[in-house]
Structure 1
């Protein structure tokens, strides 16, 4: 049982294995037909059985097995003059397999096959039609193998790009949620360590509850990331399609508005607990946002408030404004940098978002002037009806 599993684990190309097994079964069947008519020699029978074994092994080790199959089946065709049609198909299959797994070997085998056919037919009248036929016979499996190789390479490149984009999205999500939640906790702990212990037990309990709420949020964001990594893309696409069909436009807009308001309210509460005061303005929109725009907007909101908490002066006023028109989301944020902002550094969160926004033909401009910091962001958008 273990040996069978070991062999199955080595099968990298199930389609090649299936084609090889079909050939391996077809060769003995054709041999039985010709043997009943006494048309096969013992040499042809032994070589044909060896070809059948090699065909059955194509899926396990396609490179060296295809090379042996090409050499032995070519020998059977050219020097034994085997009448078996399946032997010729096996020879052409070996060229196709080599062209798929190793294009250089496939091209070399096709050239060798063409040269061998020309040499074997020099004794006969070698006409232009014969040359064309031999050329087509060698080019067909070569073209098939090369075409499949290019298709596989394209799919692998697409999968690698998708994996890279998923990793970048996950890294950005981790930075915007869990790392920012932990940064809030550090700031709250630092604030509590510099302040005197409160005499009021209720006030002390409120501080602990606040820290616990931040920790629970970080844990919830961790679970979200885990679910995102484990989520099936096709199921996610189906769920989104069903959701868009079932929900009316007005309900979806209200749900998205409430979702953004909840994020801003949570961030405002955290800033208030750190001693910040400012304006938080979220405009309204009368059309549903696409899922990509909504995810990007949520991440930007979390990142902007996290930057305020880490780099802004709590004694200065901050402002965050989010407005919408028919074609854009417009975000503005401003605050005053604290003296120790340089120690924490501005990080790479907004730099990553700048790359994403600019790739969507949007803008993200950061300005600092005499200790004042501001950012202006414009994100082009389409409603889900226009998508």
Structure 2
């Protein structure tokens, strides 16, 4: 069976209220057959008489199996009546079945097929008139009633089609709303991670350091760093809440500028929280700030910058800026300060690569949701890039590669 046939059959509606209509049709057909058998117009002594007696009601019985069998038998019955040269009474006897079969047929069939069926009715009546001109009045009456039934069926068909289309649009809208909600939840999770996780990680790492420091001056500096990181976290959270609540710019709710204490050695302040890196110089400043924060935390960091960073598009720099902070946070959480850390930013050919390599700390692992790595992959995939994170011989390597063409590479 062809795909078109399968599609056509699947679009046919089943008989409505079948458990009610089926008994009604069967009982009505039997009653009408018995009533017709007592009329003088029916001659059951011949084969033709039996055919003319049963033909008007066979479409009703076929309708019990679906609209297509009912319509097909309707045409076959009329063909038999026309060929046998039936009198006018035979056509009048089809009125009952015509009304039901035509109305239900045009209602249940797909719209185009239903219109074709309705258009075939006057053609069928014309053929019967050509075969038996004496039945013109009866055929006119039968044709008018059949067309009225077809009009009713087509009207219901149109109403049903529009209702189904409206229901489908509603389902599409619900699916789209669900998709948007999921995207918003994911984006919010990434934003919360970018804004909060870095600062909280700094607080946790500094608090751990404070446990093992006996020098009062160093302890004071650590506590000062914790306080500034906590303050920045609160400011960032207020900005995000205000942005979600009424769309105001973060700067309008960021608090008193005098309270925004800056220290480029602190990872929480290594990069601006507004997510904007507008130049290659700014990107390098972000990178230097993260390196300085790692150095302050006791890591020996080897930074390697290769190629022309000015070739990096603004949109890609924004993704790199977020990744720089994430790499710094992961190093703080999972790396061993006793071993070297390598950070590489390379612009080679048509790609820019940002990566880090560090030894894995042997102590208890810091709890991680892996949201940062997922966010890195999501940002990278937008530009057609890739992220790789591997572990080998006790060293963890994270590498992010993005085409310099950025979005244009994806749209091509």
- TM class by shorter chain equals 0.5 to 0.7
Kept in 1, the 8 Å contact 2:389–2:399? The answer is yes
Provide the secondary structure at the position in 1 that maps to 2:180: helix
CA change 1:264–1:224 in 2 (3 A) is farther
TM-score by length of 2: 0.51
Could you tell me how far 1:205 is from its partner in structure 2?
A: 4.2
- Structure 1 residues 314-362: Cα deviation after superposition (integer angstroms, max 9, x where no partner): 121112223345743312110111211x532554135424652457643
In 2, the alpha carbon distance for the partners of 1:317 and 1:194 equals: 21
CA change 1:215–1:221 in 2 (3 A) is same
The number of residue pairs the alignment matches comes to: 247
Q: Name 1:160's counterpart in structure 2.
A: 178
Equivalent residue for 2:226, pick from 200, 211, 224: 211
- Structure 1 residues 268-325: Cα deviation after superposition (integer angstroms, max 9, x where no partner): 33322311120345661335333xx455433322221111001111121112223345
For structure 1, which runs of at least 5 residues remain unmatched after alignment? 1-106, 112-123, 237-252
TM-score by length of 1: 0.54
Stretches of 4+ moved more than 6 A in 1? Answer: 384-387
Equivalent residue for 2:244, pick from 223, 229, 232: 229
Kept in 1, the 8 Å contact 2:311–2:404? The answer is no
| Higher alpha-carbon Rg | 2
CA change 1:354–1:297 in 2 (3 A) is closer
For structure 2, which runs of at least 5 residues remain unmatched after alignment? 1-103, 109-140, 251-275
Kept in 2, the 8 Å contact 1:363–1:377? The answer is yes
Could you tell me how far 1:364 is from its partner in structure 2?
A: 2.0
Does structure 1 residue 131 correspond to structure 2 residue 149? yes
Q: Name 1:89's counterpart in structure 2.
A: none
Provide the secondary structure at the position in 2 that maps to 1:376: strand
In 1, the alpha carbon distance for the partners of 2:348 and 2:393 equals: 32
In 2, the alpha carbon distance for the partners of 1:171 and 1:190 equals: 26
Equivalence map 1:1-387=2 (5 Å): 125=142, 127=144, 128-198=146-216, 200=217, 203-230=218-245, 255-281=278-304, 284-286=309-311, 288-290=313-315, 293-324=316-347, 327-340=350-363, 342-345=364-367, 347-353=369-375, 355-356=377-378, 357=380, 361-380=384-403, 382-383=405-406
Could you tell me how far 1:139 is from its partner in structure 2?
A: 1.9
Provide the secondary structure at the position in 2 that maps to 1:333: strand
In 2, the alpha carbon distance for the partners of 1:265 and 1:287 equals: 17
TM-align CA RMSD: 3.7
CA change 1:205–1:196 in 2 (3 A) is closer
CA change 1:141–1:325 in 2 (3 A) is farther
